[in-house]
Amino acid sequence: MIRTLTIASLTLVAGFGFAEELSLKAPAESSESKVIFNGKNLKGWDGDPTMWSVKDGVIHGETTPDNPAKGNTFLIWKGGKLTDFELRLSFRCSATNNSGIQYRSKHITEGKKASNPWVVGGYQHEIRNEEDFPNVPSFIYDEKGTRGRICLVGEQAVWKADGKKVLRNDLISAEDFKELMKVDEWNDVIIIAKGSHIQHYLNGKLVLDFDDQHPEKAFSEGILALQLHAGKPMWTEFKDIRLLSH
């Protein structure tokens, strides 16, 4: 059972302050959220046209043995940069590889990392739909960066100049997350970013809470993009994409 945290569960961590009381239930959606995918075509988005399309009203990305990705490649939203925002969408993904949702990220067009014209680096909400790894989805990954898995599922954490501190790691158990993640079905994601504070929700439940206070490596603004991963042939799909910018 997923427990509701109370004021008694506040924890004082030396040098990092208090782990705040959290509500594990996703907030209601604002009536001011705007739909940023029209369900018909990729107007307003840019990616490799041989890999990204719209099928049955959803964004469909796919690599094949004959058309592999040359490095991770992305479908980039061209509507502007994200600073403080709430992003809501649904995803599903093949079990053969993984995908992700990039936010507050950078479009990398030069250097060795630019293996194709649609390379993106920054915060990534990891997506992986693989039954052998039920706890992989939803963590924050530092795509093209140096910090790797920045914040894991279940964690409330802070990252400052001197490193990461986990305030708690029991926001959701491995068993509860396995039940929460709908393998091979649609899953609902909410990403909320306000200043240095980031939260990920999966299917209505808070799965991580992160405060990025690193003076050099934190991202305060950047683009939104969807990932196709290099490697094994795969597909990934997204729908009902809504954005509220603050």
Task: Quote the domain boundaries for residue 120.
Answer: 27-245
Mean per-residue pLDDT of the chain: 90
- We report the CATH number of the domain holding residue 37 as 2.60.120.560
Tokens encoding 39? 């369900």
Distance CA 226, CA 224 (A): 7
Give domain status of residue 1, yes or no.
no
Distance CA 191, CA 86 (A): 6
Work out the average pLDDT over 186-199.
98
Q: What is the pLDDT of residues 72-124, one digit of tens each?
A: 999 999 999 999 999 999 999 988 888 999 999 999 999 888 999 999 999 99
Number of domains present in the structure of the chain = 1
Give domain status of residue 40, yes or no.
yes
Give domain status of residue 34, yes or no.
yes
Distance CA 160, CA 83 (A): 20
Give domain status of residue 104, yes or no.
yes
Give domain status of residue 10, yes or no.
no
How many CB atoms are closer than 10 A to CB 103? 25
Which residues fall within 8 angstroms of residue 64, CB to CB, at 6 or more apart?
233
Q: What is the pLDDT of residues 206-227, one digit of tens each?
A: 999 999 999 999 999 999 999 9
Tokens encoding 90? 């649904």
Give domain status of residue 132, yes or no.
yes
Question: Beta strand 234-245 with 223-228: parallel, antiparallel or unpaired?
Answer: unpaired
**Among the ranges 18-22, 80-84, 131-135, 177-181, which has the highest mean pLDDT value?**
80-84
Tokens encoding 142? 């530092």
Give domain status of residue 8, yes or no.
no
pTM for the full model? 0.90
